[in-house]
Amino acid sequence: MRQSGSSAKGILEYLRKRTGKKTALRDIHNILQAIRSERRGDTTDATRTEYVLREFVSREKGNSATIFVDSDTQQAHVVVFQSARMKRLFQAFPEVVLVDTTHGTNANQYKLFSFAVTDFFGRGQYVQHALVLAETKDNLRLAIECFQRYSTIVVYVSRDCVAGASSRSAFNRAGGSSIVASGGIHACCDKLARHGEIDEAKRSIPYDVDESGVYVAYWKEFGCISHDQLILMERIIAVKNTLRDVGSTLDWIEDVNWKEGGLTAIGGPFNDEHMLSKAERKGAVMSMPLCTKYLNTEATSGASLLVYRQDMWLNSTCMITAMMYMQRAYECVGIVNPAFYHSKSSVDKIRLASAFRPFDSTKRRVIGVLNVAGLHWVVYYIDRDAHVCYTFDPLQGKVSKMTSAIREIIEP
């Protein structure tokens, strides 16, 4: 229950109902602490971090990670990791590398060196992360050394970084040149100077970037590709992924077993297809349109409906689509956009919650969902005539947290 997100109070209430014993909250905390201690054992934080990194490396071919530990204190100073996707991004866009820090920008106050490239659309894409104990020159040097296996042409370094002044020489030792900009990743491209160095870097790029952007990416194995070729590759990959999802959905339909008693207990309007055979369900998947459709001006890809299997449907897109289809059957029902929950400003919360006009006078009933964390979703239903709000939380979380979120967007 703890792994699924249940709180100590929720576990306590569950045990009291199942066992009938007056278990104290302190007992639950002691049990959870014993479980945590048993999992951790006597290993150090650095050793446990190494286990996590080994799992990350073994998860996908091409993932890599490095950890630097002080031999005297057994304290991890630098943790560097790169996914296979990050490496492919760097191979496609190796021309400009940016180093940014998260000083004062995250609530956890951790130190981080992020290596990023700029893609064809001008957006920053991360190609390496390095968690560090402190933003020092030595830690930056270690992070750069892990990145040395790739040749760097031009590097932009944020001056917000404590080690920014020393990064030029560090990157020059790594085989590339550097230009210091006066901002982070998102601002550096707007404040470049020293055009001589930029022109010199352009001449070292293996294709002509001044000829109307003919070539936009480069792979060592394939060479340069044009914009049209890049768009074609994107479409091919999208079709390949969609066909893979179709195959996974058909396999799931073949393997899953539905209990007849549970299917017959489903009420309308969801009980119209529970008698369909597996062959009929497979035929529906094979004949469904996979292109983009518009439902109440909301664009929905037909291929995205293939995730309505296992626990993959627990995302905002699927939740909104399901509520919109429910709204078709019940015209007097309004639906609340779940994106409002994680907004900080009250004005933004009301604006996002009202995106689908759930509070019109014709909508006497309002339904919505809240994503508390991960796969933890909460459902609520508001009867505006009776002034009553019904909630359902399968993990039995704190009701006060959910009610306070709902009261921010609608009057009781």
Q: What is the mean pLDDT of residues 239-244?
A: 86
pLDDT at residue 105, as a whole number: 57
pLDDT at residue 207, as a whole number: 47
Q: What is the mean pLDDT of residues 154-167?
A: 47
Q: 3-class DSSP state for residue 111?
A: strand
pLDDT of residue 336 exceeding 80:
yes
Q: How far apart are CA 57 and CA 47, in angstroms?
A: 15
pLDDT at residue 95, as a whole number: 62
Q: At what angle do helices 8-19 and 25-40 cross, to 10 degrees?
A: 110
Tell me if 156 sits within 8 A of 177, measured CB to CB.
Answer: no
pLDDT of residue 159 exceeding 70:
no
Task: Tell me which range, 94-98, 210-214, 238-242, 259-263, is most confidently predicted by mean pLDDT.
Answer: 238-242
pLDDT at residue 218, as a whole number: 67
pLDDT of residue 188 exceeding 60:
no
Tell me if 84 sits within 8 A of 101, measured CB to CB.
Answer: no
Q: Are strands 292-295 and 223-226 parallel, antiparallel or unpaired?
A: unpaired
Q: By mean pLDDT, which of 127-136, 382-391, 402-411 is the weakest? A: 402-411
Q: By mean pLDDT, which of 18-22, 112-116, 124-128, 177-181 is the weakest? A: 177-181
pLDDT of residue 22 exceeding 70:
yes
Confidence of residue 209 (pLDDT cuts 50, 70, 90): very low
Q: Which long-range contacts (CB under 8 A, 24 or more apart) does 323-326 make?
A: 323/367, 323/368, 323/369, 324/295, 324/296, 324/298, 324/356, 325/295, 326/269, 326/367
Q: Among candidates 285, 279, 326, 337, which has minimal Cα distance to 309?
A: 285
pLDDT at residue 3, as a whole number: 58
Over residues 90-126, the pLDDT tens digits come to 877 766 677 776 665 556 667 888 888 877 677 778 8
Confidence of residue 407 (pLDDT cuts 50, 70, 90): confident
pLDDT at residue 298, as a whole number: 64
Collect all residues with Cβ–Cβ distance below 8 Å to 270 and sequence separation of at least 6: none
Structure tokens at 84: 């296979």
Distances (CA, A) of 235 to 45, 225, 242, 317: 44, 15, 10, 21
Higher pLDDT, 166 or 260: 260
For residue 383, list its beta bridge partners. Answer: 365, 388
Amino acid sitting at position 246: V
Q: Domain spanning 289-412: which CATH class is it, in words?
A: alpha beta
Collect all residues with Cβ–Cβ distance below 8 Å to 218 and sequence separation of at least 6: 91, 92, 94, 206, 207, 224, 225
Collect all residues with Cβ–Cβ distance below 8 Å to 178 and sequence separation of at least 6: 154, 155, 156, 157, 167, 168, 171, 172
Higher pLDDT, 183 or 83: 83
Q: What is the mean pLDDT of residues 373-383?
A: 82
Q: What is the mean pLDDT of residues 166-187?
A: 43
Q: Where are the alpha helices (DSSP H) in 256-333?
A: 260-264, 278-287, 316-329
Q: How far apart are CA 192 and CA 178, in angstroms?
A: 12
The DSSP-derived string for 2-45 is: TTTT--HHHHHHHHHHHH-----HHHHHHHHHHHHHHHHTT--H
Residues for the chain: how many in total? 412
The answer to whether the Cα torsion of 311, 312, 314, 318 is positive or negative is negative
Distances (CA, A) of 107 to 80, 110, 191, 344, 346: 21, 8, 28, 13, 20
- Provide the CA 396 distance to its chain's centre, in angstroms: 25
pLDDT of residue 189 exceeding 50:
no
Over residues 343-358, the pLDDT tens digits come to 778 888 888 888 888 8
Angle among Cα 393, 399, 400 to the nearest 5 degrees reads: 155
Q: Among candidates 205, 193, 219, which has minimal Cα distance to 91?
A: 219
Q: Where are the alpha helices (DSSP H) in 302-397?
A: 316-329, 346-353
Structure tokens at 100: 């940014």
Q: What percentage of the chain has pLDDT greater than the value 70?
A: 67
Confidence of residue 2 (pLDDT cuts 50, 70, 90): low
Distances (CA, A) of 285 to 44, 206, 280, 282, 309: 50, 46, 9, 5, 12
Confidence of residue 319 (pLDDT cuts 50, 70, 90): confident
Q: What is the mean pLDDT of residues 131-142?
A: 84
pLDDT at residue 177, as a whole number: 39
Q: What is the mean pLDDT of residues 72-87?
A: 86
Amino acid sitting at position 76: A
Domain boundaries, the chain: 8-40, 46-221, 236-288, 289-412
Distances (CA, A) of 82 to 58, 143, 196, 224, 291: 12, 11, 33, 24, 34
Structure tokens at 342: 């994680």
Q: Among candidates 258, 257, 245, 343, which has minimal Cα distance to 301?
A: 245
pLDDT of residue 270 exceeding 70:
no
pLDDT at residue 277, as a whole number: 81
Over residues 25-35, the pLDDT tens digits come to 888 888 887 77
pLDDT at residue 173, as a whole number: 52
pLDDT at residue 297, as a whole number: 62
pLDDT at residue 183, as a whole number: 34
H or E, element range at 124: strand 124-132
Q: By mean pLDDT, which of 10-24, 305-319, 385-399 is the weakest? A: 305-319
Largest pairwise CA distance in the chain: 78
Q: How far apart are CA 50 and CA 35, in angstroms?
A: 21
Instruction: Supply the mean pLDDT for the chain.
Output: 73
Query: How much is the CA Rg of the chain, to the nearest whole Å?
Result: 27
pLDDT of residue 184 exceeding 60:
no
Confidence of residue 161 (pLDDT cuts 50, 70, 90): very low
